[in-house]
Every structure is written in C-alpha cells, then in structure tokens.
A and B are shown apart, each in its own frame.
Chain A
Amino acid sequence: SAVISQKPSRDICQRGTSLTIQCQVDSQVTMMFWYRQQPGQSLTLIATANQGSEATYESGFVIDKFPISRPNLTFSTLTVSNLSPEDSSIYLCSVYLGTSSYEQYFGPGTRLTVT
C-alpha cells in the first residue's frame, strides 16, 4: 500500500479565486489520479497525472480549469481555477501501484467550499 497526504484538508474560498491542492506519496509511483466527489455523488475521475508527461483529462474536465503539475514521482498538485459554488466538492488524489487487481490508494481528500 501507500501513505498519501493532502493539503489542505479543507478550505473555504471566494468565488473567482483559485485553490491549489497538494498530494504527497511516501513512495515513488508512476500513476497518480485526481478525483472529485460532489455532494451525494460518486467519485469522478478528473485526470491522470503521470510524471514526465502532460496530464490526461477526462471528458468534461479541461486544463484551464483544472491545471495539474507532476514534478516528480512522489508529488502532484491540482489547481481548481476561477472558483464557482458548483466547484464545492471533495477532491481526492490516488495512486496505482501496479497490482493485478488495479486497486488505487487514496489520500484523505480536500473539502472545498466556495462562497
């Protein structure tokens, strides 16, 4: 398994501002993912962040709104830009360690509230 930490754990932001979320892993991993969980909804994949390449975004998510950095094999950031109340969600990072059953290990999440 992997130990994953996220900062901040929660934040309240004003409309129109941005929030950058950090994800730190205790071991080197190739594949990292960013998810969003809106209230009462499932976890939705935003993008896959592999070190050394551009992030791959899922349908409905764009780089201008959700820029991602992956400077090394243990760290990634997700920025949520130009915040609106609809961006109020829990944002989670996860890692895949290459197991045959494809499980991902998740960080504790960042709870964002936009006012």
Chain B
Amino acid sequence: DQQVKQNSPSLSVQEGRISILNCDYTNSMFDYFLWYKKYPAEGPTFLISISSIKDKNEDGRFTVFLNKSAKHLSLHIVPSQPGDSAVYFCAAHSGYALNFGKGTSLLVTP
C-alpha cells in the first residue's frame, strides 16, 4: 500500500517561473518529510526536509510547505532553472525507514 503519493508523473515549467511539486501521504505517524532530486544514472540526492511540527522550511530557492491536516506537502522552486530538470521524490520517515513516492519528472525549459 503506497503511503506516499506523488500524483503528477511530470511537470513542465519555464525558466524563471515557480515549480510546485506536490506530495500526499496517508500515515499520520510520519515525523519527517524529505525531498530528493535524481538525475539519470545517479542516485537520489537529498534536497530539503521538514519536521512534522513545522509548516515551512526554506533553503535558498527551495521551500517545502507542510499541511498536516490535509496530509499534504509541496516543494516550491523559485526561480526554476534548467539545471533543476530531474526527477523529484518525496519521502516520509517513520521508525527507521524512508517511504518514497513514485517521483515527479520536472522539465524546466529555457
């Protein structure tokens, strides 16, 4: 049973605009949420995280928002750059494990 869901397989955004990637989860026991970026033929790279007790965390161009009542989080990238084109995975932590979504492929066009 998929506890972390990324319902948009792909997203295309123009350079300079905002990219918004969404993630939903079902398990209220998750205590941390993480975003990873993955380029082809590479392993996932940790991007940013947020504690379940926070509603926002910002790191440079990347901001993650958490809405616990809706069991929803989103990653905002502003401004988007062509180098941001990659697959983005949402992950949630519980116990010792990370539960991953299926990923959203982001394409930033010039």
Residues of A bordering B, CB below 8 Å:
1, 4, 9, 31, 40-45, 48, 58, 92, 94, 96, 101-109, 111
Contacts and interface: CB of A to CB of B under 8 A. Distances in A.
Contacts of B43: 4, 92, 94, 106-109
Contact of B103 (A42, A104, A111): A42
Interface stretch (B11-19, B45-53, B69-77): B45-53
Contacts of B32: 101-102
Given A102-B34, A102-B93, A103-B34, A45 B46 contact: no
Interface in B55-110: 89, 91, 93, 96-98, 100-103
Interface centre among A44, A92, A102, A105 (most CB of B within 10 A): A102
Contacts, number: 55
A54 to B, nearest CB: 15
18 contacts: A4-B43, A9-B41, A41-B102, A42-B89, A42-B101, A42-B102, A43-B100, A45-B98, A48-B96, A48-B97, A92-B43, A101-B49, A103-B34, A106-B36, A106-B45, A109-B41, A109-B42, A111-B41
A40 B32 CA distance: 24
Given A103-B49, A104-B46, 16 more contacts: A31-B96, A42-B2, A42-B103, A43-B98, A48-B96, A94-B43, A96-B96, A101-B49, A102-B34, A102-B98, A105-B46, A106-B36, A107-B43, A108-B41, A108-B43, A109-B42
